Structure 1
C-alpha cells in the first residue's frame, strides 16, 4: 500500500487536494441537482398556473353568449379550450392528487374561479415536455371552463453543459493549486539536493534561502550547521595531524634506542613498535574516512591495483592477478583508494591463503575484487566485520591487525560514493568487492 502512495510532497498534497475536490464536486453536483429540480418544478408550476389563469380570466370576461366562441378561438394545435354551461356534467379532473399546487395557484391568480381541478399529466423526458395536462375551473355563475394541453415545455437547464463548466472550473482550480504546491515543494527539493551535496571539507557552500518562511529558516539553520561542521572538521584534522606527529616521533625515538639493546630484546621491541605504528596509522586513516585533503582526479584503477599486488609480491607474499580491465578508470583520491585496496589484500593475506585480485569495468562503476582461498568468515561474524575494532575469534587467535582494515576500506568507498560488499563461505574463502562509481560524486 505504501508503494502506491505518491512519494514527493507536491504529489501527495496534490493527490489529497484532488480527492477533496472530487468529493466536494460530487456533493455540490448532487445538492445542485436536487435544488435545481425543485426550482424547475416550482417554475413550471408557476408558468402553467399563469397560463390557466389567463385562459380562465379571458373566458370569464366575455359575455355568456360569446364564451363558447372565445374558448374555441383560444384553442391551438396543442391546446383545447371548452366552455360548458352549468347544466353540463362536471369533467373528471381530480383536484387534490397530482399537482394540487397548480390548482391552488391558478385559483389564486384568477380570483374569479370558485373551484379549480388539475390533471398533472406525465413527463416526456425525450422531448422535455409535460403531456396530457387537463384542468377545469368553475366560474361564479356555475359554468365550467375545460382546458386540455397536449404538451407544455418544462422549464429546464442543460445539466451536461452545467457540469462541464463546473468541471472546467475545478480543473483550473486544481492547476492553480498545483502551481501553488509546486512553489512550496520546489524550495524543499532544492534544499534537499543542496544538503546532499554538502561535504565536511572545503569552503562551506551557502544554501540559497527561498520559498516559504519555514523553508528559509531551515536553510539558514543548515548554513549555520554547515559552517560549524566544517569548523569542527578542520579542528579534528588539525588534532589528527598533531596526534600523528606526537605519536610517531616517540615511536621513532624508541626504535632508535632499541637498536642499542641486545638482539634477544631488540627484535620483540621492534615488532611491538611496528605494530603500534601500524595501529596509529590505521586509526588515523579510519578517522579521516577517505578524506585527507587530497584532490579528486581520474585514476587508472587497473594500474593502482597492480601496484598494490606488486608491493605485496616484492615483500614475499605473491598475489595472483586475475581478470583486470586495463581501461578501468574512476574519479577518486589515489592515496585513499590505494589504502583501501591495500587493507583488503592485507586481510586476505593475514586471514586466508593464495590471495587474488580482479578489476572489472561496468557501465556505471568499477569493481575491484579481492579474494582468498582461506577458511572464510563465520556466518555470525559476517554482518559485523566492517564494524570498527571488531575481530572474529579466528582473527583474535591469529593476532595482528588493528580491527580497522575493513572499516577504513568501507569509509573510503562511501566517501567516494561507492560501497563495499563481502561474500564468504566457510572453507571456501572470502571475496570482498570494492565498488567505485565512474561518474564524479559529491565527495
Structure 2
C-alpha cells in the first residue's frame, strides 16, 4: 500500500514549453527569479525596513523635542520658533514654521508608492512620541514630508526632505541585482543558442534524409553528446544508402541475367511452330518477362535521381496525357496555387503512372484533385471502378499481392505497382492510403510535404 497517492502533473505538461531552448531558458530563469525574490524579501524585511524605522525614529524624536519645548508653559513661542528655525535649517534640514491660530485642516494621511513604507514608519514613530493631534503628508513629486502638529496657540509646520527618511540603497540594490541578472541571462541565452543550433541542424538533416533529399550540407558539430549523435546519424545514413544500393544492384543484376535465357527460349519457341502447347509456353514466357520488367522497375525506384523543385501541375498533366486513351479518361482539378514541391520527378511520375495503370484495368474514368493544406500537398485520384474491399486496402501495398482471387496474371498485374508507388511516396517523406471514392470506386490519397 502506498503511503502517498500518485500525483498527476498532466496539467503542468500542458502549460510547460515544448522546445528545448524554451525549457533550458526556463531552467535558468526560474532559480534566478527565486533567488531575486528571496533576496529582495530578506533585504526589505531586515535591512531596508530597519533603516527606515531608524531614520523615522530620529526625525520623530527631533519633532517631539520641538513640540515639547513649545508646549512648555514658561516657553516663549516666538523666541523658540526663531531659534529652532535657525538651528534646524542649518544642522537638521528641518524647515519649521509656527502659525498662530491655525488648524490641522481636513487633509487625511494617504501614502502611495514608496511613500507607503516611509509614511507608515514615520507615522508609527510620531504616534508613539507625540500625543498632540497631528498630520503626516508626503509629496512624492517634490520629495518632501510635511508634519503638522497642534501646539499651544496654533499649529507647528515642519517640512523635511524625503531623503532624511528614505535610503537610496534600495534602488541601488535592485538595479544591481536586476542588471547583473539580465547580463547573465543574455550570456546564457547566447550560449544556449549555440548549443541548440547543432541539434536543430541534426533534426533538419534527419527530416531531409527521410524525405529523400540531399544532406551533404550536414557536418558534425556541437558538444560531445551532440557530436556523438550526429556521427551516429551519418553512419546510419551510409549504411542505409549502401544497403539500398546493394539491393538495387542485386535486383537489377538478377533481372538482367534472367533476360538472357528468356530471350533464348523465346527464339527457340518461335522456331518450333504454333501448336497449342507452344502458345501456352509463349504466354508463360511473356508473363515471366513482364514480371522481370516489374522487378527492374522496382529496383529503379531507389535510383540515384537527384531531388529538385518540380511543378506538380505540369507533372500530373503529363501523366494524364500519357495514360488517357479512347476508353479511359483522366481529368485534373487543382485548388489553390504554388504546387512546386522538391521531389525526384521521374520516380514520382512512375508512381502516378502505376496508380493510373491500376485504375485503368478496373475503370474508364479517373479524376485527379490536388490542393494544398498548410505545408502539405494532397493529391486525390478517384476512379469509378469496383473499388477494393476495406479489408484488402492495406494488403494491396504488399509486394506481389493481387486482389483477384484466382491470383493469375491474365490481368497484366504482377502485384508490385502499388508497392512501388508506396515505396516512392515514403522515400519522399509522404504518405499514401486508400479510401472509398465519391465516384463509387477507389480513392488513392497521396500526401507530400512541401
For normalisation by structure 1, the TM-score amounts to 0.63
Aligned to 1:6: 17
Asked if residue 320 in structure 1 is aligned to residue 329 in structure 2, the reply is yes
1:321 aligned counterpart, secondary structure: strand
Asked if residue 182 in structure 1 is aligned to residue 213 in structure 2, the reply is no
1:126 aligned counterpart, secondary structure: strand
- Could you tell me how far apart the structure 2 residues matched to 1:225 and 1:360 are? 35
- Could you tell me how far apart the structure 2 residues matched to 1:343 and 1:249 are? 26
Asked if residue 343 in structure 1 is aligned to residue 358 in structure 2, the reply is no
- Could you tell me how far apart the structure 2 residues matched to 1:221 and 1:405 are? 34
Q: 1:50 to 1:119 in 2, by over 3 A?
A: closer
What is the root-mean-square deviation in Å for CA atoms of aligned residues?
5.1
Asked if residue 422 in structure 1 is aligned to residue 431 in structure 2, the reply is no
2:390 aligned counterpart, secondary structure: coil
Kept in 1, the 8 Å contact 2:371–2:377? The answer is: yes
Q: 1:200 to 1:246 in 2, by over 3 A?
A: farther
Q: 1:387 to 1:202 in 2, by over 3 A?
A: closer
Aligned to 1:372: 383
Query: Larger deviation: 175-184 or 234-243?
Result: 234-243
Listed one character per residue, the Cα deviations across residues 78-107 of structure 1 (whole Å, up to 9, x for unaligned) are 599xxxxxxxxxxxxxxxxx99xx9xxxxx
How far 1:360 sits from its partner (Å)?
Answer: 5.4
1:407 to 411, 419, 424: 419
- Could you tell me how far apart the structure 1 residues matched to 2:215 and 2:192 are? 30
Aligned to 1:240: 251
Aligned to 1:211: 222
> Where does the alignment leave 5 or more consecutive residues of structure 1 unmatched?
54-69, 81-97, 103-116, 134-147
Kept in 1, the 8 Å contact 2:266–2:285? The answer is: yes
1:395 aligned counterpart, secondary structure: coil
2:324 aligned counterpart, secondary structure: helix
Kept in 2, the 8 Å contact 1:374–1:429? The answer is: yes
* Structure (1 or 2) with the larger CA radius of gyration: 1
Aligned to 2:76: none
How far 1:177 sits from its partner (Å)?
Answer: 2.1
Q: 1:157 to 1:379 in 2, by over 3 A?
A: farther
2:398 aligned counterpart, secondary structure: coil
How far 1:227 sits from its partner (Å)?
Answer: 3.3
Q: 1:200 to 1:150 in 2, by over 3 A?
A: closer
2:442 aligned counterpart, secondary structure: strand
- Could you tell me how far apart the structure 2 residues matched to 1:20 and 1:390 are? 61
Kept in 2, the 8 Å contact 1:375–1:426? The answer is: no
- Could you tell me how far apart the structure 2 residues matched to 1:391 and 1:281 are? 17
- Could you tell me how far apart the structure 2 residues matched to 1:216 and 1:398 are? 52
1:423 aligned counterpart, secondary structure: strand
Listed one character per residue, the Cα deviations across residues 42-72 of structure 1 (whole Å, up to 9, x for unaligned) are 465578889999xxxxxxxxxxxxxxxx999
Listed one character per residue, the Cα deviations across residues 266-313 of structure 1 (whole Å, up to 9, x for unaligned) are 34434444444444444454455x332345565742223312335xx6
Q: 1:120 to 1:191 in 2, by over 3 A?
A: farther
How far 1:348 sits from its partner (Å)?
Answer: 1.5
Kept in 1, the 8 Å contact 2:328–2:363? The answer is: no
1:322 aligned counterpart, secondary structure: strand
- Could you tell me how far apart the structure 2 residues matched to 1:78 and 1:22 are? 46
Kept in 2, the 8 Å contact 1:200–1:229? The answer is: no
1:403 aligned counterpart, secondary structure: coil
How far 1:337 sits from its partner (Å)?
Answer: 3.3
1:38 to 50, 60, 73: 50
Asked if residue 395 in structure 1 is aligned to residue 430 in structure 2, the reply is no
- Could you tell me how far apart the structure 2 residues matched to 1:424 and 1:126 are? 81
- Could you tell me how far apart the structure 2 residues matched to 1:15 and 1:269 are? 75
Listed one character per residue, the Cα deviations across residues 399-435 of structure 1 (whole Å, up to 9, x for unaligned) are 4434332221122234345543533159911132456
2:277 to 244, 261, 265: 265
> Where does the alignment leave 5 or more consecutive residues of structure 2 unmatched?
1-10, 66-78, 86-94, 99-120, 150-155
1:432 aligned counterpart, secondary structure: strand
Asked if residue 353 in structure 1 is aligned to residue 363 in structure 2, the reply is yes
How far 1:251 sits from its partner (Å)?
Answer: 3.7
Aligned to 1:291: 302
Q: 1:197 to 1:31 in 2, by over 3 A?
A: same
- Could you tell me how far apart the structure 2 residues matched to 1:406 and 1:430 are? 13
